[in-house]
Amino acid sequence: MTIYQVKRIHESYFPKSFFFSRKTMKLFGQTLKMFSVKKAMKETINYSYREWSGCDCYYLDANILKNKKVVGKTMKIFNSKTGEIKTI
């Protein structure tokens, strides 16, 4: 799954979400290309996010930049069935 697919799914379930808005991304010095998407292991999901058991979940992460310097990291988990994004 790509970050573009994640964005499309998330916005189809949550059209008023600001997570991928241009202003939010600019505030954190991010672009969609900066995000990596990795499949989460089912065992991790079953333990940490029990309500998401049996779903296809993905880790999302990207550096937060200010004046072209890394000042933090966005780390989220995405549920492809519900379109939800939660902080790790």
Q: Quote the tokens at residue 64.
A: 């937060």
Model confidence pLDDT, tens digit, residues 40-67: 877 666 556 667 766 788 999 999 999 9
Alpha-carbon gap, residue 51 to 57, rounded angstroms = 12
Predicted confidence (pLDDT) at residue 34 exceeds the cutoff of 80: yes
pLDDT of amino acid 45 = 66
Of 86, 84, 64, nearest to 74 (Cα)? 64
The residue extents of the domains of the chain are 3-87
pLDDT of amino acid 17 = 95
